[in-house]
Structure 1
């Protein structure tokens, strides 16, 4: 809310609170609807998501304009246009029984028809048209339809069944529980038109059964004869009990009295082009946030050897030949998870804050991604602002984009939108974290980013994939790019719990410890070749477009605890803490010797004396962490990939960490040539520091 100033509460509804706010950038008054989605059920979240989705689809001068949404204070904030003239219901009540002139009625009605025609053209039902949801501008001349909270997007020729809407405006078919379509909106619009002519509702009763009876009979008071026969006839046809006999919205527009009103409307006000510019979302600004002076001072204290911080984050690779402590925002920052991409380094703290490290060049200016001006760039930690009351529990990095997940299962992404990898329905870049709206109705429990695609898994074991699709990496049965999350089809008896993305492939881990893989199987890096227990290759698989189980012995019989996927190889961790690797071995990244054309997976026997607790794969190297806090690396050593001076290829060797002994390892992440490790010092007594 740092971009807005709250002025007052202007309404409260079943789903949240409505605030009148001032947008600080241009002092424009806006409405912010605050919907506490974090505490809602899946169905309630879906309803909140629906309003955002529908508003974003509609662009019309007679529909309340949607500006943006963001997450704050455990709630979804929807920023919309403010109509200063209040509701049409308020206006009619202010008439004190004095009927409106027919010209004014038709002026209002023509604008409603235009807006509803736009809504229906998008295959959307409003489902709650009423005078309380029709707003006016300051001069009370321009009509704007709002409140699409229970609207429904229909597929072609489909009908809806759910009984929703305000009782006084629901159609007879709704009362009978029959399927309905756009004709129910026509009924509600007829009720509104009747109200314009009578200053009272067409159907009212002391209780709901009596109201339903009136609606089913189509019983309402006569319309004043001061209005033309054409207007009264139009109302009667719109309130016909048989929906098939009600006019379509285009037929209403063709009525002579409505055509005249439409012509007068355009003559009086001019035809306004419905073009809108979307402002960037402000739920979480990008990585140019400020770091407090106190926080930076504490980081320097930790680096200088003064009282130790609760956590340290070590980095190597990308020109850092040995493990190097990165500065953290403050001495009391406890890092619980780290993630690295081609250009990004990010961390999540124990208290749910997300921060990133930015490279700083000469003069303090942030270096551009890919800059090679300095072999050893200075990295500065910066909290992402705008996280008030939002608890981040997980972060994942792709190439030039980042995904972060809240403790309530809401996913947000920002960065480069190439290939649709942000999941926002387009390929636009986003500088500030934006909610992946298509998943707002689900509780996401884990997310993984590849170079240009993403997989997410929900608490109900559903998997969604989006982004770049070649090589079949999305597991959707094709190679198409997807700009919004798509459900991945898996058998009903399979219960995914974790997902992992490689550069051009994807992996699902199930609750029973089995793996499903899709994408590029070059060098059998996904273990999809059919290799029997004797090591004989029965079928070679280069690529699959849907998720398939492991087929290579011996890994196809193992119970898996975790997996890591590099550019040309992969590693899996068994529940017993053993490490197996497979794929290309040109640089010794598998941790053992084998013939160049041998596609069989093998165990990293050099680590048999240790129990492995975590593994990660970079482009041409592998890193493993043991239960007792030791770190081993092997593979290509160029540009500090292994974090050790000894660069003997293909041999797992310990990475020496100085000044932090003993310690626990909180998180490990590798990507391309970079490695990040979060460690937590342990007191000499052996109990973790608090």
Structure 2
């Protein structure tokens, strides 16, 4: 039974019981406000133990913050110490996370909660108090479940400037490595516990769990925990790692956490209206050229002609002037009935496209801030009112740009398109894919289609540096110079020594001398460029497009393993990059020279004639004094970018580029 507490409170129900007392929900009769009353039995306590039990009330009375359970009063009864405090009707943070049943919080929600905990802990530490039992069960929510409040200061300790705590206290799953070792500790142990709580917000699980205490301590001492999902920002993940550093000296202080840009920028917004912050997610015939010619047509569609209207409110008398402002980027396409470039619309004038990629039906661009733009086709109706989904590319007005729906905090650094599928690489080395799974190119272990980007889970824990793809195979390069391939294996394009296909990434066996730095894919072949500027190739060698034919093997049809490219002038020429078409290849040297090999049908090799020259690598002339900086190949054409102009040579029978 609850000890008589006079005529001030009406008992409602018991909230909980533990080794140190009981907790009751009561109603304060003076104003009808619901409060929590905590009773700590003192009948069997000595005088010293009673004084120690009063320390919770003393510590709590020092604190006054909107994110800390409010202290109202305390008094000593005949049989117990009674502490009166604020009631939080939303339950514990632990229960809130468990009730989500595996549905992750969005980054805005995580930061909303985390900042509140950080500010509360800053208040605690500023009063020279250690909480010593910070955990999700001791963090409570208001009724609307948008405001957090730290509670339970039962084992808190007030420190002077020279004191370091030494007693082993706290919940085992949240104790720091220094506590496990029995060492002195300070506020940095609270930072460790704060990191554990942040981990729970990100994963809905505790970072350190085990079936017994020795195993738990071992995990904590090793600092081993499962990685965070890549849909959270790198800044947030890096901050978590710093808080869970095994060396307390290398953990940040609470003030160092507050001044992090990801925290400080949101803190002001949060505290202008605490408790009411919504969480918003972020949501005809053409000529043929056998030698390089300058690409024409951009004069009529210059980037400066892609303008937006910007209002100027600095005019006098309240007038509003308008002026034209050049867009940051301009993207062009040509093909079908268009023999000259035509401008594609952008989501806004400040969208800056830094790279583009094309698939069988996809057109995608990557912005400087790591977002993906997709150009889709509008549906239009014919005279009968029937919707037509298939629209000719000759109608430039049918394309409209949309941002790919993204996960919060994901920053894309590379995008590649294959035959009906797309792969995205994040700045944290995480690979995602979406689109058609018909050839297993999504890397998810099946042939299912995926409409939104999904992590290639087989490569989690692998730091991916670059990704490339052909029409139906994928190649990945890691920062440790390891290569993985998957998809269609016909012609040996995967470099695995056989023509089998795979739906999961496979590690490629490489020669000891082969240390890849760059990767390139053609329709049915793959190239590796090493740190010493040597080339290795595998896949179809039709028309010697891999440049691997030798006098002893003049007509090698396929290479099932990566073999060195040794046809003259290689390997003497140091290669900078590779462009691979369906039946020809272009190599760009470090000196800005272009070499081509393969079928010369329609002049795609860039020679004076269109005659095929078997087994030979051709040096392309016609650039004058200009130095080529980039090279690319389509199925039957080649494009080179020089310091001055864009040149192209291609087939007149090609339907589009």
Q: TM-score range by the shorter chain?
A: 0.5 to 0.7
Checking the alignment, whether the CA contact within 8 Å between 1:335 and 1:350 is kept in structure 2 is: yes
1:340 is aligned to 2:355: no
Change (3 A) 1:519 1:392: same
1:124-135 matches, cutoff 5 A? none
Structure-2 residue corresponding to 1:546: 561
Structure-2 residue corresponding to 1:31: 102
Describe the SS at the equivalent of 2:413: strand
Deviations 1:575-625 (A, max 9, x none): 001000111111110000364352201011112522111111011001110
In structure 2, distance between residues paired with 1:638 and 1:485: 37
Checking the alignment, whether the CA contact within 8 Å between 1:449 and 1:455 is kept in structure 2 is: yes
1:562 is aligned to 2:577: yes
Structure-1 residue corresponding to 2:255: none
Change (3 A) 1:451 1:366: farther
Checking the alignment, whether the CA contact within 8 Å between 1:565 and 1:617 is kept in structure 2 is: yes
In structure 1, distance between residues paired with 2:515 and 2:328: 37
Structure-1 residue corresponding to 2:503: 483
Deviations 1:85-128 (A, max 9, x none): xxxxxxxxxxxxxxxxxxxxxxxxxxxxxxxxxxxxxxxxxxxx
In structure 2, distance between residues paired with 1:34 and 1:454: 32
Deviations 1:162-209 (A, max 9, x none): xx94434869xx9xxxxxxxxxxxxxxxxxxxxxxxxxxxxxxxxxxx
Corresponding residue to 1:625 among 615, 627, 641: 641
In structure 2, distance between residues paired with 1:384 and 1:529: 44
Checking the alignment, whether the CA contact within 8 Å between 1:580 and 1:602 is kept in structure 2 is: yes
Structure-2 residue corresponding to 1:331: 349
Corresponding residue to 2:338 among 301, 308, 320: 320
Mark the runs of 5 or more structure 1 residues left unpaired by the alignment: 1-6, 13-17, 22-28, 37-145, 151-163, 175-282, 286-297, 532-536, 642-672, 675-690
1:587-666 matches, cutoff 5 A? 587-592=602-607, 593=609, 595-596=611-612, 598-628=614-644, 630-638=645-653
Checking the alignment, whether the CA contact within 8 Å between 2:568 and 2:617 is kept in structure 1 is: yes
Change (3 A) 1:380 1:11: same
- Kindly state the Cα deviation for residue 353 of structure 1 after the two structures are TM-superposed: 0.8
1:419 is aligned to 2:435: no
Change (3 A) 1:484 1:595: same
Structure-2 residue corresponding to 1:137: none
Describe the SS at the equivalent of 1:438: helix
Change (3 A) 1:355 1:374: closer
Q: Normalised by the size of structure 2, how large is the TM-score? A: 0.52
Change (3 A) 1:149 1:451: farther
- Kindly state the Cα deviation for residue 30 of structure 1 after the two structures are TM-superposed: 2.5
- Kindly state the Cα deviation for residue 35 of structure 1 after the two structures are TM-superposed: 12
Checking the alignment, whether the CA contact within 8 Å between 2:306 and 2:330 is kept in structure 1 is: no
Checking the alignment, whether the CA contact within 8 Å between 2:491 and 2:540 is kept in structure 1 is: yes
Structure-2 residue corresponding to 1:464: 484
Corresponding residue to 2:395 among 372, 376, 383: 376
Structure-2 residue corresponding to 1:191: none
Checking the alignment, whether the CA contact within 8 Å between 1:299 and 1:328 is kept in structure 2 is: no
In structure 2, distance between residues paired with 1:392 and 1:444: 12
Alignment length, in residue pairs?
370
Structure-1 residue corresponding to 2:458: 438
Checking the alignment, whether the CA contact within 8 Å between 2:377 and 2:391 is kept in structure 1 is: no
Deviations 1:302-350 (A, max 9, x none): 9xx9421111112122443211111111111111111111211111111
In structure 1, distance between residues paired with 2:408 and 2:387: 25
Checking the alignment, whether the CA contact within 8 Å between 1:284 and 1:432 is kept in structure 2 is: no
Mark the runs of 5 or more structure 2 residues left unpaired by the alignment: 1-89, 108-203, 220-280, 284-304, 310-322
Deviations 1:541-591 (A, max 9, x none): 110111111021113321110001011111010000100011111111000
In structure 2, distance between residues paired with 1:541 and 1:366: 51
Change (3 A) 1:415 1:554: same
In structure 1, distance between residues paired with 2:631 and 2:419: 20
Corresponding residue to 1:498 among 492, 507, 518: 518
Corresponding residue to 2:597 among 574, 578, 582: 582
Larger Rg: 2
Deviations 1:504-545 (A, max 9, x none): 1111111111111000000001101115xxxxx753211011
Checking the alignment, whether the CA contact within 8 Å between 1:392 and 1:404 is kept in structure 2 is: yes
In structure 2, distance between residues paired with 1:519 and 1:550: 13
Structure-1 residue corresponding to 2:543: 523
Structure-2 residue corresponding to 1:231: none
In structure 2, distance between residues paired with 1:458 and 1:541: 30
Structure-2 residue corresponding to 1:386: 406
Tell me the C-alpha RMSD between the 2 structures. 3.2
Checking the alignment, whether the CA contact within 8 Å between 1:8 and 1:20 is kept in structure 2 is: no
Structure-2 residue corresponding to 1:189: none
Describe the SS at the equivalent of 2:334: strand
Checking the alignment, whether the CA contact within 8 Å between 1:579 and 1:604 is kept in structure 2 is: yes
Checking the alignment, whether the CA contact within 8 Å between 2:466 and 2:478 is kept in structure 1 is: yes
In structure 2, distance between residues paired with 1:350 and 1:165: 44
Change (3 A) 1:576 1:363: same
